[in-house]
Homo-oligomer: A and B are copies of this chain.
């Protein structure tokens, strides 16, 4: 009882929705949890709402995660793992960076969800630490920039002497700040400003003015 669709009937139009189990169910729950987080934020990231969105019930969640904070941790981890960025290789630093920034620029702001969670767990004593959440999410993005930048060094586009870690992080730091402050997709012209007016001038061997 309670299944979504009639199941005994082999009627054509009926979705044969079966009861999910094990790993499949778990994946579905974590996907739903991430959806919930991006849609309504940490504040409404409750066991009830996640269960509803995953079309299952609370005990199913509690059998897997002791607390809501545990679920949060796994949700971010799950998404971080799924979200490996494609490292572009277009031949120029500029378009590589623009491609990378463009990828991060989805309609439903994943940064908002991440920072929302970080702040939540920052103010609450319990739960995952903010940096823990951060790491899972930002690590692979950082390494993507690193690869793009390394190739630019090989091509001679970049003066390696200027590449401090902070400068390597600059494009995504600025992107993230913009995404957080406006809570909207970052317009293309802003991405170009970040790359053309700030990052490239800082790292190119030949200074722009002379």
- The distance in angstroms between the C-alpha atoms of A173 and B182, with both chains bound, is 12
Kindly state whether residue A55 has any CB partner on chain B within 8 Å. Answer: no
* In the complex, per-residue mask of A63-78: 1 if CB is within 8 Å of any chain B CB, else 0: 0000000000000000
* Contacting residues, chain B, for A170 (C-beta < 8 A): 174, 198
Which of A1-9, A41-49, A91-99 forms part of the interface with chain B? A41-49
- Interface of chain A, helix or strand or loop or mixed? helix
Which B-chain residue is minimally distant from A138 (CB atoms)? B181
- The distance in angstroms between the C-alpha atoms of A44 and B206, with both chains bound, is 52
Copies held by the complex? 2
Kindly state whether residue A131 has any CB partner on chain B within 8 Å. Answer: yes
* Contacting residues, chain B, for A40 (C-beta < 8 A): 123
In the complex, how many angstroms separate the beta carbon of A115 from the nearest chain B beta carbon? 6
B131 touches A182 (CB 8 A): yes
Known pairs A197-B166, A198-B202; A183 contacts B112 (CB<8 A): no
Contact residues of A with B, CB < 8 Å? 39-44, 112, 115-116, 118-120, 122-124, 130-131, 134, 159, 164, 166-167, 170, 173-174, 176-178, 180-183, 190, 193-194, 197-198, 201-202, 205-210
- The distance in angstroms between the C-alpha atoms of A210 and B134, with both chains bound, is 39
In the complex, how many angstroms separate the beta carbon of A120 from the nearest chain B beta carbon? 6
